[in-house]
Amino acid sequence: MNSRHGAPSVRATYRLQFRGGMTLDGATALVPQLARLGISHLYASPLFAATPGSTHGYDTISYDRIDPALGDEAALIRLAARLHAHGMGLILDIVPNHMAADARNPWWMDVLTWGQASPRANWFDIDWDVPDPDLHGRVVLPFLDRPFDDALAAGMLALRHDGESGLFFIQHHDHRFPLRPCGYAALLAAVDAPGELLAAFTTVAMRAGPGREADAALDWLRQWAATDAGRGAMARIATLHDGASLSGRARLMEVLAGQAWQLAWWRDGASRLNWRRFFDITGLVSLCVEREEVFDAVHDYVLSLYRRGLVDGLRVDHIDGLGAPAIYCQRLRARLDALTPDRPGDVLPGGAVYVEKILIAGEELPAAWPVDGTTGYDFMDQVSAVLHDPDGAGVLDRLWAGCGPDARPLGPIVRAARTYLLEHVFRAEFGHLVTLLRRCLPDEDGSWAGQDIRPVLVCLLLHFRPYRAYFGDEAVQDHAADRLMLDAAETAACQTMTGEQAMVAADITRLLSARPEQAPPPVVRRMQLASEHLTAPLAAKSLEDTAFYRYGRLLSRNEVGSDPAVLGLTVAAFHACCLSRQARFPHAMLASATHDHKRGEDARARLAVLSAMPEEWERQVHDWFAHNGAAGRHGPDRIDELMLYQTLVGAWPLEPFANEAERLHFRRRIRQWQTKALREAKRHSGWISPDTAYEDACASFVDRLLDPIVCASFLQQMAGFVDRIAPAGALNGLAQTLLRLTAPGVPDLYQGCELWDFSLVDPDNRAPVNFDYRAGLLEHATSFAAAAADWRTGRVKQDMIRRILAFRQNYPDLFTSGTYEPVGIRGRDRAHAIAFLRRHGGISLLVVASRLPQALGVRATDLSVGRDVDLALELPRLHGPWHSLLGDVPRQVTHPFMRGQVPLACLVHHAAGE
């Protein structure tokens, strides 16, 4: 099902975060540097118009123009021209699932203005028919900073007129809520507006919807409002509807009652919302992009950029948020394929499509999606897990369990988080699903009439592990995997149910698994979609945004796409994942860092070392527990203290702080991480109701630990501990990089990560990158051995990337069409390597990455092996010489790790005559 066009031309991508100082022209200046590194495609974060000041671009307000903060289309043309001049292309991140619920979003404002009469009333995922009669045909807007009555009495809802659009609106801080033009005649009559204007708006009221009459009336109102008489009238209308007075409040209440929306306190959003949002972010409203007219409106501009050769491939954000992902992917593929012949002849082949999708263990992308693979979270999990030692689980579990009653296994933590989210965050979504289920469940004999289905549904949702099933999709496809996951959830849930509840659970599962080709009733289809739109955010928020901050056994496994309960992956299992990817999605992205990661790829690689030395880590932590004095204070508790120590170990710099400014910057980063961690965990604090006393106590603890006068002993211990494990951590980072560059798939580099990446969760991982420094290192490339001797600068990582990407550029078919052959390993040290061959057309590439390198006696001077290694590869017979992409060729290729050499090998063999 892969792309027939551009995916094979995507050799290596470089993810660049626009905004925060990075513009299109700024990216254009970087193109020669990325070309020297060996990148084939710049991989851009969203470029379309977003809310002013957006730091990420996922809050789109318009799909038909470039965000002016980044440049304009002319700037994009300049970027594309520079990329083409260097034989490169552009992959663009697009956001078809949601837009900003913002006054600058014209589609959203049109819906708020006209309600169900708007031609875009069905473009957003709004439930216009909720059971609450007060909300029937209206949109709940939970954006008030206080309860509605309080906001009204305090004069916080001001009626104003917009001279540009002609619309009246309600102003609340930065929010604007447009008034329905059907009621303007009454407003204008109270201030003696011209009779012809009143007549025009009477006609608008009769039409009850947009059209030429409404446009003409609004244009007339704009003109009149710009006159002295009009300006005075607008001021009087505002005064007449001033909520600070009883009479004004009554008039304003009457106006508000006639709108297509109802204002509410932001805290009421969780229980009253009647439209789908992105996860729990009420500022982002979801689209019905499965509707063809919405698809066209969202994609017309980006497809025109593709046709003109300005964009070469697409990354689809949050594919699981769409109502019908298979239909969407098929439509997108068809549009791209139809436009491909019209693209300029001097650009790279285009059409690659990648989807942002979290896969749990054993889950695969649906075969009905004609895409080139995921954005690489699955590989990020696999390559990290194989560098962890699963044998360390017992000791790490013991350390974790000793941190108090909240230090439980991951499963109960996730289920508790899901319970909390269903009760407090997704109450509206859950209630909507219950209502639909009530309409679907059998009740002919009254057997379910008195049954409370809520606990049954909750139990099923607690045990459903993947993001979602796809029965609600309109495409006919294989649902065997979906059914297995639903059945597994039902089996687990029924362990704690009564017999009657188990029967209800069976009915719910049957309804959820109705296939589209069976033509289930429309209410069942709506119920399926409601369920699938709930399970995705529930899975993400319970694991990534809650459990990751509550479960602290080893934070390097608390990463997007990973299962923290699985400490390590065997080499055989890693090979199996690579073989599966090669067979199904050979052009999938391979990531090890993203804009969503919880900590940088090299911070995780360093923390992975702890899994192979758990007893020493346990002793060190207990020593810190005993001597740092957190116990008995207001904070942190043992869990938050353990997570803090791991964060410090992972992020600790390789060189001593050069000055006080560097030390303070590091402290600010740690405190920023800590605040987010405490609020995401929702144990002692939270985003809605922060416990500032506990947060302040935790921040004071950080300040004390990092104070060289107060805690000199701790700082010396921390620096010494990191110095001992940093060489092994660096080797893990290089092994991770080597595997990403050579395994089946397309290596993706996150901005700046060609050097060491010890970043923390966003916004830290989106900090500006010193590209000039990286360009300087790249310009003065040296031998791999010399780079290894200077490893603390990160030059060795950049050098590896440059060398292997240059080889990929010269031999692309080896990676797009070559074999992937796991290589067997013998010897006492066989656990310390991962080896495989890639072969095609007489060329063989042997890759050997180190694993669990602490036991190899890694030298801190140059990352070389400090002892003899008993490890031998079981290679096929290949006659003739090998040459190395990294360092020297081993004396025996079958014994690649030699004392005094960096334990990494990337060897090339050419068959005779090639």
Residue 449 confidence (pLDDT): 55
In a domain, 877, yes or no: no
Choose one of 724, 755, 784: the last residue of a domain.
724
Q: How many domains does one find in the chain?
A: 4
- Taking the alpha carbons of 742, 744, 747, 753 in that order, is the dihedral positive or negative? negative
- E strand or H helix that includes residue 838: strand 833-840
CA distances from 623 to 50, 617, 628, 713 (A): 49, 10, 8, 12
| Burial of 301: CB neighbours in 10 Å, binned 0-12, 13-18, 19+ | middle
What per-residue string of b and e applies to 658-680 under the rule 16 or more CB within 10 Å gives b? Answer: eeeeebeebbebbbebbebbbbb
Residues 44 and 73 in one domain: yes
Distance CA 390, CA 662 (A): 36
Task: Tell me the residue range of the domain where 665 lies.
Answer: 612-724
pLDDT of residue 837: 98
Is the domain of 65 the same as that of 116? Answer: no
Q: What is the pLDDT of residue 632?
A: 78
In this structure, are strands 843-850 and 905-910 parallel, antiparallel, or unpaired? antiparallel
Q: End of a domain among 375, 395, 423?
A: 375
Segment 85-107, tens digit of pLDDT = 999 999 999 999 999 999 999 99
Whether residue 341 has a cis bond before it, omega within 30° of 0: no
User: Does residue 807 lie within any of the structural domains?
Assistant: no
Residue 710 falls inside a structural domain: yes
- By residue count, the chain amounts to 914
pLDDT digits (tens, 9 = 90+) for 848-862: 999 999 999 999 999
Q: Considering the domain boundaries, does residue 55 fall inside one?
A: yes
What counts of helices (H) and strands (E) characterise the chain? Answer: 31, 22
Neighbours of 450 (CB within 10 A): 7
pLDDT beyond 60 at 189: yes
- The predicted structure's pLDDT at residue 443: 66
Is residue 4 scored above 90 in pLDDT? no
Q: Quick count: other Cβ atoms within 10 Å of Cβ 879?
A: 7
Residues 555, 558, 562, 564, CA torsion sign: positive
Domain boundary, last residue among 699, 724, 749? 724
pLDDT value of residue 2: 46
Residue at 676 is within a domain? yes
Given this model, what pLDDT does residue 8 score? 86
Q: Do 88 and 115 share a domain, yes or no?
A: no
Farthest CA pair distance, the chain: 98
How many alpha carbons lie under 13 Å from residue 487 in its C-beta half-sphere?
6
SS3 track for 230-265: HHHHHHHHHHHCCCCCHHHHHHHHHHHHCCCEEEEE
Judgement on whether residues 449 and 544 belong to the same structural domain of the protein = yes
pLDDT above 80 for 913? no
How does pLDDT run across 573-597, given as a tens digit for each residue?
Answer: 999 999 999 999 999 999 999 999 9
Which residue, among 637, 636, 668, has the nearest Cα to 651 in the 3D structure? Answer: 668
Q: For position 71, what pLDDT does the model report?
A: 97
Beta bridge partners of 161: 168
Tokens representing 223 are 């003109």
297 and 250 part of one domain: no
Do 669 and 651 form a contact (C-beta atoms < 8 A)? yes
Average confidence (pLDDT) over 389-418: 98
Task: Tell me how far the alpha carbon of residue 347 is from its chain's centroid.
Answer: 30
Measured in whole angstroms, the distance separating CA 167 from the mean position of its chain's CA atoms is: 37
Q: Do 222 and 161 share a structural domain?
A: yes
- DSSP H helical segments within 143-211, as ranges? 148-153, 184-189, 195-207
Residue 49's CATH number: 3.20.20.80
pLDDT tens digits for range 505-557: 999 999 999 999 889 999 999 999 999 999 999 999 999 999 999 999 999 99
> Mean pLDDT score of the chain, rounded to an integer?
95
pLDDT of residue 131: 86
